[in-house]
């Protein structure tokens, strides 16, 4: 081990501790010692200090103790030409520096409370790009990903690349491997975060590019996040420093990339990270520590080329990532699932009420299809100009010795998140209400409709190889072809839905979850029962059961419904317990059969949204493809924006079209007989089922009693119609009592 490494790290430790001691004394001289300090909205105080020592720092005076502890860790200065090649003094100096950095950041937050946004995403328009330490809400949402493997680790990048293009290349390389990128520090006044913005990238927790702060001290937030994950999900107790550090070494696969000149302050941070088993790889010529010891392999590696730093970092950390290249001109991976394609960046779109967009997966005979064949029938992206729309039909044929018809909707629903994995492409909805938006950046890189098929072919093979052998995909973009596919698809959807038509919630003791939409609505948890189909319309109870059989660790998990807490509203003990865990604590309970009392959460993929109409003592429902005004005063798009992000909003609820005529539909609020308005197109679509269900409930010709936009689009306009028809809702008990 180089004497220069020891000298730099130990010098850095002394420098940082002394500097922060001075800052603390200055703060104590100007403010009361009992002044509250902390990182905000966290039960973990200053998390590195608390997790490793058990010290609870809540006031300015409390900061003296960890700084005294840090001072005691500092080893003797390196003297003479001969230095014992031992890591111990470096680790102590590094830990002292990390403690001091955490105190420094607490003082900064006290001194400049508006410096960090403390949010998932920065406020770029306001010039505030630094989010600071993650609060416990973000920890619960993101930390579990490091435990369940959906985020295999994180790259802590300090400094800046030589230019924005190189920064973008490095960061995207990590995104492709599903890693988080925690960014801090600057090199000559420039940060990799600013370079990412210059390169047109979206930053924030949702894209896994986290802008912690502009100084090397901000890197302590990454270590604090790792330690809090160990306490929250690994059961490690505060003060159990040995278990804490071993947990991180063995479970949190992280490393540091130092981009730029490494001075003493960076050196002490790197030495501190080694305590966690996190190695440092630099793009400059710095002294190396190559023997194994604390880290899995090398501790410090120098002169790593920028185009190799990602792969080399993964190798040195001992992280195993199974990556299969997909031949498209855009980056691809879960890190892009949270991206939005907003108006200013939109090049073209398919569906979303502008055109028809339909998806259908069907089982085929092995001899009928050719594996890997992807065909575009009709115009492609290159034939469009900015702002254009296209109809789109995505038709996937699958053959396999183990494939069953029951598996069709499961793979069909995967289209949603797999398309979202493509950088610059956004997908919402499912079945015949899908919506695909393509960004200008994606088009500039050569994106084509064919690339949708290439992605689906590759990912279906990767994720479902046990049940399929061949995948062929046809993408239709001519209106007549899309309409023909849509007509066929709707018949298939109807057949699937009717499979559970005779089942009741009392017939089963297990419901199923669906969390596929959490990329856009993180707190949304859909629970599917025989009489409460998924609000997207794509999944019923049997679909979820089949999905769990295919992928036991996937988004459709069995939920033992347990004790029935309220049979009228539809509240179940087992569902409540699952909901608390799956929503990361955002929700504690909801009811299956009510929109008034603690309704289910709603995401943006719902087919319909129901809303109360108090003056009519009833409810309305509006489907996604109706673009007009409604009696509640909001269009579908407005309703979805207000309560479609995973919210549970009394008086509103998302649901599927099929659910309208299921026996338990808002049964706790009066059931189907409460429905007084819906768009004519929806009423015509389910007309026979409306009358059949109404007859079961004692009302003949119910569909003709329900108003639509031809009657009116306000409560005042439709009330006389309801009175003339003798609608049953008018004589029911008050909906808001």
Give how far the C-alpha of residue 432 lies from the chain's centroid of Cα atoms, to the nearest Å: 24
**Sequence-separated (6 or more) residues with CB below 8 Å from residue 724:** none
Q: Any idea how long the chain is? A: 737
Query: What is the reported pLDDT for 316?
Result: 86
Put simply, whether the predicted model's pTM sits higher than 0.75 gets the answer: no
What is the pLDDT, as a whole number, of residue 321? 59
Three-point CA angle 123, 124, 125, nearest 5°:
95
Contact 255, 282 (CB under 8 A): no
Residues of the chain with CATH 3.30.1650.10: 334-492
Tell me the DSSP string of 439-496: EHHHHHTT--HHHHHHHHHHHHHHHSTTT-SEEEEEEE-SHHHHHHHHHHHHHHHHHH
- 3-class secondary structure for 356-412? CEEEEEEECCCCCCCCCCEEEECCCHHHCCCCCEECEEEEEEEECCCCCHHHHHHHH
Identify the CATH number of the domain defined by range 3-317: 3.40.50.2030
- Nearest in space to 468 (alpha carbons), one of 416, 397, 519, 413: 397
| pLDDT of amino acid 292 | 66
Q: The tokens of 333 are what?
A: 């991976």
Q: CA 66, CA 170: separation in Å to the nearest integer? A: 36
CATH 3.40.50.2030 range(s) for the chain read 3-317
Indicate the burial class of 30 (C-beta count within 10 angstroms; 0-12, 13-18, 19 or more): exposed
* 3-class secondary structure, 351: strand
Structure tokens at 510: 């297990």
Residue 236 CA to residue 717 CA, distance in Å, equals: 62
Please list the residue range(s) of the chain that carry CATH number 3.40.1470.10.
505-731
Q: How far apart are the first and last CA of the chain?
A: 76
Mean pLDDT per 10-residue interval, the chain, length 737 residues = 71 94 96 94 93 96 97 82 64 95 97 94 92 92 79 93 96 90 95 96 94 96 94 90 91 92 91 92 86 79 93 82 72 82 90 92 88 93 93 94 83 88 89 90 94 92 80 96 95 83 87 79 86 84 81 87 93 93 88 93 85 96 90 90 79 92 93 96 91 94 96 96 96 86
**Predicted local distance difference test score (pLDDT) of residue 85:** 52
pLDDT tens figures, 513-530: 988 777 667 788 889 999
Partners of residue 621 on adjacent β-strands: 610
> What local confidence, expressed as pLDDT, does residue 1 receive?
46
> In terms of Cα–Cα distance, which of 537, 502, 694, 709 is closest to 609?
537
Give 719's Cβ-side CA count (13 Å radius): 11
505-731 classified as CATH 3.30.590.10:
no
At residue 72's C-alpha, the angle toward residues 70 and 73, to 5°, is: 65
The sign of the CA dihedral 273, 278, 282, 287 is: positive
Q: Look at the alpha carbons of 592, 598, 603, 605 in this order and tell me if their dihedral is positive or negative.
A: positive
**Which class would CATH give 334-492?**
alpha beta
DSSP string, 620-671: EEEETT--S--TTS--HHHHHHHH-SSB--TTEEEE-TGGGGSTTTTGGGTG
Q: Over the stretch 463-495, which tens digit does the pLDDT of each residue have?
A: 887 778 789 999 999 999 999 999 999 999 888
For residue 607, give every residue at least 6 positions away whose Cβ sits within 8 Å of its Cβ, in sequence order, or none.
431, 433, 535, 536, 537, 623, 624, 654, 655, 656, 657
Please name which of 268, 269, 275, 162 lies closest in space to residue 212, comparing C-alpha atoms: 269
């Amino acid at each position: 081990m180089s004497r220069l490494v020891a000298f730099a790290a130990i010098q850095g430790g002394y420098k940082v501790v002394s500097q922060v001691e001075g800052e603390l004394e200055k703060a104590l001289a100007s403010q009361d010692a009992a002044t509250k300090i902390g990182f905000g909205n966290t039960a973990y105080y200053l998390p590195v200090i608390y997790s490793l020592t058990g010290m609870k720092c809540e006031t300015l005076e409390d900061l003296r103790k960890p700084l005294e502890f840090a001072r005691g860790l500092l080893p003797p200065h390196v003297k003479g030409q001969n230095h014992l090649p031992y890591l111990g003094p470096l680790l102590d100096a590094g830990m002292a520096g990390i403690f001091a950095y955490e105190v420094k950041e607490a003082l900064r937050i006290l001194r400049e409370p508006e410096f960090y946004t403390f949010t998932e995403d920065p406020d770029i328009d306001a010039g505030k790009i630094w989010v600071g330490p993650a609060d416990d809400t973000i920890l619960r949402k993101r930390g579990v990903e490091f435990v369940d493997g959906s985020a295999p680790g994180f790259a802590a990048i300090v400094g800046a690349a030589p230019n924005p293009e190189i920064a973008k290349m490095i960061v995207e390389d990590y995104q492709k491997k599903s890693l988080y990128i925690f960014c801090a520090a600057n090199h000559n006044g420039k940060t990799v975060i600013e370079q990412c913005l210059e390169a047109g990238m979206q930053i924030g927790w949702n894209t896994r590019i986290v802008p912690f702060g502009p100084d090397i001290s901000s890197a302590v937030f990454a270590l604090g996040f790792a330690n809090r994950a160990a306490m929250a999900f690994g059961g490690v107790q505060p003060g159990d420093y040995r278990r804490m550090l071993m947990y991180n070494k063995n479970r949190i696969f992280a490393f540091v990339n130092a981009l730029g000149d490494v001075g003493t302050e960076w050196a002490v941070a790197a030495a501190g990270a080694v305590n966690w088993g996190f190695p440092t790889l630099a793009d400059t010529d710095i002294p190396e520590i190559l023997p194994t010891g604390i880290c899995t392999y090398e501790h410090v590696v120098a002169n790593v080329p920028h185009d190799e730093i990602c792969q080399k970092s993964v190798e040195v950390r001992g992280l195993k990532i199974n990556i299969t290249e997909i031949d498209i001109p855009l980056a691809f991976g879960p890190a892009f699932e949270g991206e939005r394609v907003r108006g200013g960046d939109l090049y073209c779109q398919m569906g979303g009420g502008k055109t028809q967009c339909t998806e259908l997966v069907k089982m085929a005979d092995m001899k009928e299809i050719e594996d890997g064949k992807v065909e575009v029938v009709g115009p492609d992206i290159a034939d469009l100009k900015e702002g254009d729309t296209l109809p789109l039909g995505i038709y996937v044929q699958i053959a396999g010795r183990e494939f069953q018809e029951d598996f069709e909707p499961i793979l069909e629903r995967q289209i949603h998140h797999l398309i979202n994995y493509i950088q610059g492409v956004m997908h919402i909805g499912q079945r015949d209400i899908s919506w695909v938006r393509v960004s200008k950046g994606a088009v500039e890189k050569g994106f084509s409709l064919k690339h949708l098929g290439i992605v689906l072919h590759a990912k279906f093979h990767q994720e479902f190889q046990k049940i399929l052998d061949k995948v062929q995909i046809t993408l239709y973009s001519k209106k007549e072809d899309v309409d023909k596919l849509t007509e066929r698809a709707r018949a298939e959807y109807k057949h699937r839905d009717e499979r559970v038509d005779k089942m009741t919630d009392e017939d089963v003791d297990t419901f199923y979850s669906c969390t596929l939409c959490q990329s856009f609505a993180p707190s949304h948890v859909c629970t599917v029962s025989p009489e409460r189909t998924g609000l997207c319309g794509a999944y019923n109870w049997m679909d979820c059961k089949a999905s769990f059989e295919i992928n036991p660790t996937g988004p459709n998990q069995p939920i033992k419904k347990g004790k029935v807490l309220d049979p009228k509203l539809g509240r179940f003990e087992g569902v409540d317990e699952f909901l608390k865990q799956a929503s990361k604590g955002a929700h504690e309970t909801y009811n299956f059969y009510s929109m008034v009392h603690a309704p289910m959460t709603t995401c943006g993929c719902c087919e319909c949204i129901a809303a109360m109409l108090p003056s009519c003592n009833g409810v309305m429902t509006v489907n996604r493809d109706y673009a007009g005004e409604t009696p509640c005063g909001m269009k579908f798009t407005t309703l979805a924006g207000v309560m479609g992000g995973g919210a549970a909003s009394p008086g509103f609820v998302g649901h599927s079209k099929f659910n309208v005529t299921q026996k338990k539909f808002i049964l706790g609020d009066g059931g189907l007989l409460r429905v007084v308005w819906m768009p004519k197109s929806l009423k015509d679509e389910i007309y026979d089922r409306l009358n059949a269900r109404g007859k079961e409930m004692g009302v003949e010709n119910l569909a003709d009693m329900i108003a639509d936009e031809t009657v009116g689009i306000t409560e005042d306009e439709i009330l006389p119609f309801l009175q003339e028809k003798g609608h049953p809702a008018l004589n029911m008990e008050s909906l808001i009592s």
